[in-house]
Amino acid sequence: MSRRKNCYDGLSADYSRPDKVEEALATKLIRLGEQIVARKESSLPAIGPDYTPGTIEEENREWWPTHCEALRQKRGDILTGEYRDDLVYFCQDGPYRGITEQGEREKHWWALIAQPGVTMTWPIVMFWSEFVHFEWAAMDDETHETIAKGSVCWVRRGHRGGCYFKSEQLTFYRDVYAPDRLLKLIGG
């Protein structure tokens, strides 16, 4: 059996625990997340000698902490910007095609998992070429209960391509639809 290691080894920040990252690093990650979203090309770039699976995987590793911090900081604009306009999203409420079909539903999910007093963690993240697999849990800061969890696979063609396929299993334990006061906290 191979020795287990922290999935965040070699990444710029560790989001496997509910601990906050240092403020300067969090600010840097948000800026980088904005820059990465701006690099997305209008057409999905081809994988080939000029854009290799290795390059894409490196970019996905650089992107990952920006995604986590964007969710913790309720940056719906960055989160939406990570998707391609022709996203295909498989989940129990889906499938959804395009970024508008799932928008109404997803804003409730984001509002619930990023609400005040709840901290997101991503204990597992794995990378292979354009595939990013992760598991997440949203935990109540006071009671330590898991209010929601999920297992997700993104197919993300690096910074140039963004996410064009997402498959997710979500489980919400406490709420399913967010009240208006929480929806207003999610930007974008």
The set of residues, in sequence order, having a beta carbon less than 8 Å from that of 124 and lying 6+ positions away, is 7, 16, 133, 134, 135
pLDDT for the residue numbered 14: 96
158 pLDDT above the threshold of 80: yes
11-58 tens-digit pLDDT: 999 999 999 999 999 999 999 999 999 999 999 999 999 999 999 999
Q: Which residue has the tokens 């409420």?
A: 93
pLDDT score at 143: 92
Cα pseudo-dihedral 20, 66, 82, 145, rounded to 10: -20
| pLDDT value of residue 176 | 64
**Domain boundaries in the chain?**
23-183
Mean pLDDT score of the chain: 91
Q: Which of 135, 155, 180, 150 is nearest to 60 (CA)?
A: 155
Percent of the chain's residues with pLDDT above 90: 71
Sheet with 118-128: list strands edge to edge.
96-97, 83-90, 163-172, 146-156, 131-140, 118-128
User: Who contacts 72 (Cβ-Cβ below 8 Å, separation ≥6)?
Assistant: 15, 20, 26, 114, 119, 120
**CATH of region 23-183:** 3.10.450.50
pLDDT in tens, 54-73: 999 999 999 999 999 999 99
